């Protein structure tokens, strides 16, 4: 029987409570055993000998941030008591994301007028001044 046939036979015999990834005995993999036997060798093969469970946690927190998840979401998913742990240790800055954020901020601060003509700027400044005067009333 091939490995694929054996896997198919086990899958057909599985119940909804069965583990998706299990040892030959049907028990859960031990985290240290899985790390040392499978993940670290795979990391060395791809040039990432520093792979660890911590690496996966940092990757998750950073990708969640890039996907628009909040720091509180990451804190809850990682089980941290303090958000400073999540932000200070687990989320990493991504240069492309930082650049996009700075460009967006620049557009907000300059009202997108860095390329506007002098006439357009004067008109916008007059409207802003009227708004400020109205707000001060």
Residues 1 and 41 in one domain: yes
Domain count, the chain: 3
pLDDT of residue 99: 85
Residues 8 and 46 in one domain: yes
C-alpha distances (whole Å) from 62 to each of 96, 99, 111 are 13, 16, 30
pLDDT of residue 81: 96
Residues 18 and 47 in one domain: yes
Helices within the chain (DSSP H only) = 3-13, 31-34, 40-45, 53-66, 71-78, 83-85, 95-109, 118-136
Q: What is the pLDDT of residues 89-126, one digit of tens each?
A: 998 888 888 888 888 887 777 766 665 566 666 666 66
Residues 37 and 76 in one domain: no
Residues of the chain with pLDDT under 70: 111-137
* Domain encompassing residue 125: 94-137
């Amino acid at each position: 029987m091939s490995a694929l046939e054996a896997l198919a036979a086990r899958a057909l015999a599985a119940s909804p409570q069965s583990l998706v990834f299990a040892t030959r005995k049907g028990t859960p993999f031990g985290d240290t055993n899985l790390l040392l036997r499978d993940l670290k060798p795979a990391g060395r093969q791809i040039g990432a000998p520093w792979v660890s469970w911590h690496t996966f946690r940092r990757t998750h927190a950073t990708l969640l941030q890039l996907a628009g998840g909040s720091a509180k979401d990451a804190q809850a998913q990682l089980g941290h008591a303090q958000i400073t742990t999540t932000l200070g240790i687990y989320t990493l800055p991504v240069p492309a994301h930082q650049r996009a954020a700075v460009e967006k901020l620049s557009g907000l601060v300059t009202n997108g007028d860095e390329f506007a003509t002098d006439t357009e700027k004067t008109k916008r400044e007059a409207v802003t001044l009227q708004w400020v005067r109205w707000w001060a009333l």
